[in-house]
Amino acid sequence: MSKRIVKPVLSAREAVAGIAGGATVMIGGFNYGGVPYTLVEALLEQGATNLTLIANDTAYDDVGHGRLVREGRVKKVVASHVGLNKTTQRLFNEGKMELELVPQGTFAERIRAGGFGLGGILTPTGVGTVVEEGKQVLEVQGKRYILELPLRADVALLRAFRADTMGNLTYRGTNRNFNPAMATAADLVIAEVDEILSPGGLDAEDIVTPGILVDILVMKGDSYYASRT
């Protein structure tokens, strides 16, 4: 995609049109907060399958990206917690979907590594548990750490609060969660927002995600959770 200073404001349908089958998609959110519902709904309609979903959790069976799992559109989930979505557990137990469970702090840091140009991170989390199986464990200054590798995606679907036309983003409350990290770690970054202001409309001190990371802006829709979160 060529560089653009002013970011296109598209409909959700237009924004996700190019997501191909088999794509790796990062989706922001924790539980039902900070999920880009309007973009996820558009992706549901768009029909892409065999997706690899990188999200903290798989929401609920009938909420947000949980529906992508329920409709059999996901071949692999990378998440820290899937306990609220019964379909995720069932498909995994039946061997119909891959599931990579990652401790939540490691999940955040692997995404950051993916976006921050790091070859991986060393974390003490999971040492002495099944999490270290098949991974390099390094001893640094007398302490054991697991080498965890970066996560990146083809597309990141984010939920932010206010944007300006240059793609700068602010967040609201606990909707922030993984969204700012994911903004750094995907080839195409699409942000769903409440409001789009002119450049200068956001105080530079309040901007969390600089617009150079964001490719497309979409206004949030009016579905139940999109309008309430």
Site string for other proteins, 123-142 (x = CB under 8 A): xxxxxxxxx-----------
Q: Closest CB to other proteins among 50 and 129? A: 129
Query: Which of 21, 10, 26 shows the shortest CA–CA distance to 189?
Result: 26
Residue 173 is a binding residue for other proteins (CB under 8 A): yes
The Cα 154–Cα 59 span in angstroms is 21
Stretch that binds other proteins, among 6-14, 15-23, 119-127, 150-158 (CB under 8 A): 119-127
Q: Which of residues 8-37 bind other proteins (CB under 8 A)?
A: 30-33
Query: Which of 127, 201, 215 shows the shortest CA–CA distance to 170?
Result: 201
Provide, rounded to whole angstroms, the least separation between the CB of residue 42 and other proteins. 21
* Residue 85 DSSP code: -
- Grouping H, G, I as helix, E, B as strand and the rest as coil, residue 140 is strand
Residue 170 is a binding residue for other proteins (CB under 8 A): no
Provide, rounded to whole angstroms, the least separation between the CB of residue 8 and other proteins. 26
The Cα 123–Cα 8 span in angstroms is 39
**Residue of 38, 52, 106, 168 that binds other proteins (CB under 8 A):** 106
Q: Which of residues 189-208 bind other proteins (CB under 8 A)?
A: 208
The Cα 170–Cα 149 span in angstroms is 28
Residue 80 is a binding residue for other proteins (CB under 8 A): yes
Residue 176 is a binding residue for other proteins (CB under 8 A): yes
* Residue 60 DSSP code: B
Q: Closest CB to other proteins among 84 and 196? A: 84
Q: Which residues contact 173 (CB under 8 A, 6 or more apart)?
A: 33
* DSSP per residue, 187-219: EEEEEEESEEEPTTSS-TTT-SB-GGG--EEEE
How many helices (H) and strands (E) would you count in the chain? 7, 12
* Residue 36 DSSP code: -
Stretch that binds other proteins, among 19-27, 66-74, 101-109, 196-204 (CB under 8 A): 101-109
Q: Closest CB to other proteins among 41 and 109? A: 109
Query: Which of 64, 19, 85 shows the shortest CA–CA distance to 220?
Result: 64
Give residue for tokens 């990652």.
102
Provide, rounded to whole angstroms, the least separation between the CB of residue 99 and other proteins. 7
Residues that bind other proteins (CB under 8 A): 30-33, 56-57, 79-83, 89, 92-93, 99, 101, 103-106, 108-109, 111-112, 123-131, 171-181, 208, 225, 228-229
